[in-house]
């Protein structure tokens, strides 16, 4: 986004840029995750994208994001900013341990209808000869789900 001269002045006054090597921390508004926001022409825009655009004088390709070499999301120093795809950023965050995958196996999955105890009981009852239909109805799942649980294609982590 291009800023007029007044907008650029206001933007530049929102952080201290005295030392070229250190982070230039944003002093203005931030969202709940700590990412800087800048109010311009009645809209809140990404301050990080604005800093990148002002310094490098180019648009950010659709689907790409501005990231920081310093890992400080409030930093406006253009020497610390670079663009990357969301996919590459996510892979980098996982690789460096700055982001951990959500543990959504089994009962931790918000869509799960079963608990680990339910799965153990289903396997036990199935081994005793209870049918897929009866178990599916009892636990509110499909016959296919019962079969996959019994054959350890689902809930394989449950002993």
Label each residue of the chain as H, E or C: CCCCHHHHHHHHCCECCCCCCCCCEECCCECCCCCEEEEECCEEEEHHHHHHHHHHCCCCCCCEEEEECCCCCCECCHHHEEEEEHHHHHHHHHHHCCCCCCCCCHHHCCCCCCCHHHHHHHHHHHHCCCCHHHHHHHHCCCHHHHHHHHCCCCCCCCC
> Which pLDDT value is given to residue 4?
93
Q: Report whether 14 contacts 27 (CB < 8 A).
A: yes
pLDDT value for 18: 81
> For position 10, what pLDDT does the model report?
95
68: which 2 tokens?
A: 């920081």
pLDDT number for residue 146: 96
Q: Mean pLDDT for each 10-residue chunk of the chain (159 residues)?
A: 90 90 94 93 95 92 92 94 93 83 79 93 96 95 95 92
Q: Between the CA atoms of 45, 50, 53 and 54, what dihedral angle is there, to the nearest 10 degrees?
A: 140
Indicate the length of the chain as a whole number.
159
User: Tokens standing for 73?
Assistant: 């999301």
Q: What pLDDT, on a 0 to 100 scale, did the predictor assign at position 94?
A: 83
- Decide: residue 79, CB within 10 A, 0-12 exposed, 13-18 middle, 19+ buried: middle
| pLDDT for position 113 | 92
Instruction: Please tell me the predicted confidence (pLDDT) of residue 59.
Output: 86
pLDDT at 56: 93
What's the pLDDT score for residue 116? 95
Residue written as token pair 């009981």: 121
Domains of the chain and any CATH numbers: 5-96 (3.90.75), 106-150 (no CATH)
């Amino acid at each position: 986004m291009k800023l007029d001269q007044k907008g650029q002045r206001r933007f530049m006054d929102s952080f201290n840029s005295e030392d070229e090597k250190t982070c230039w921390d944003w002093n203005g508004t931030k969202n709940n995750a700590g990412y800087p926001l800048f109010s311009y022409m009645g809209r809140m825009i990404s301050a990080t994208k604005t800093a990148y655009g002002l310094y490098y004088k180019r648009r950010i390709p659709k689907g790409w994001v501005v990231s920081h070499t310093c890992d400080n999301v409030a930093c406006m120093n253009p020497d610390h900013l670079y663009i990357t795809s969301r996919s590459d950023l996510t892979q980098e965050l996982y690789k460096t341990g700055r982001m951990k995958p959500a543990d959504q196996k089994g009962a931790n999955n918000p869509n799960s209808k079963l608990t680990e105890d339910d799965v153990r009981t289903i396997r036990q009852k199935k081994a005793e000869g209870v049918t897929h239909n009866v178990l599916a109805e009892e636990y509110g799942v499909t016959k296919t789900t019962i079969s996959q649980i019994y054959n350890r294609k689902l809930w394989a982590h449950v002993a």
